[in-house]
Amino acid sequence: MRHVLGVLAAATVALSTFSASATQYANPGLLCRESPSAYIGALTWDYISAQNATISDVKAYCPIVSVAAITKVTLRVCTNSSAYGFLQSYSISYDNSVGELLFIDTVNASGVSCTSLDSFPPAYTYAGTVEAELQRQTVNGNNKIVTYVVED
């Protein structure tokens, strides 16, 4: 009997450890759009990313999908902002389960390269939106949002 109890205890620990591990959801930047419903024509998409190929600044909105409370969002972005000295701005708004705004985190990127930006929402965060302020295109290329990984 002692063997059985020992094995059951070990199994319980193993199962609880297994279920407590975080799950990640990787999303392509091409899910981002200029508006929830209308075609505007400033953003373009490729096989993975959403990018601003115009000579005006554009805002892109990316829906965040998760199953449980969100603990982390990581943006993978590419910027060429050093050409004009711009700072690329990315804001992530977080909602609770009834859609009330909990928190807005703003992360920035600059230079001519791709980089990852982390954002950590408060507890009880269940939904959100990435708002990417994509500066105008430059001779170095287009500013873009490549992926965003949600962890819960």
Q: Does 130 participate in binding another protein (rule CB under 8 A)?
A: no
SS3 of 94, please?
Answer: strand
Among 58, 92, 107, 146, binds another protein (CB under 8 A): 146
Closest distance to another protein from the beta carbon of 85 (Å): 26
Considering the complex, state which of residue 22 and residue 139 has its C-beta at the smaller distance from another protein.
22
Residue 145: what residue type?
I
**Binding to another protein (CB under 8 A): which residues in 24-63?**
24-31, 33, 39, 41, 43-50, 63
Count other C-beta atoms under 10 Å from residue 74's C-beta.
17
Residue 141 contacts another protein per CB under 8 A: no
Judged by CB under 8 A, the number of residues near another protein is 41
CA angle 73, 21, 30 (to 5 degrees): 30
Contact yes or no for 94/120 (Cβ under 8 A): no
Cα–Cα distance between 30 and 35 in angstroms, integer? 13
Contact 145, 60 (CB under 8 A): yes
* Residues near another protein (CB under 8 A): 1, 3-4, 6-8, 10-11, 14-15, 18, 23-31, 33, 39, 41, 43-50, 63, 65-67, 76, 116, 146-147, 149-150
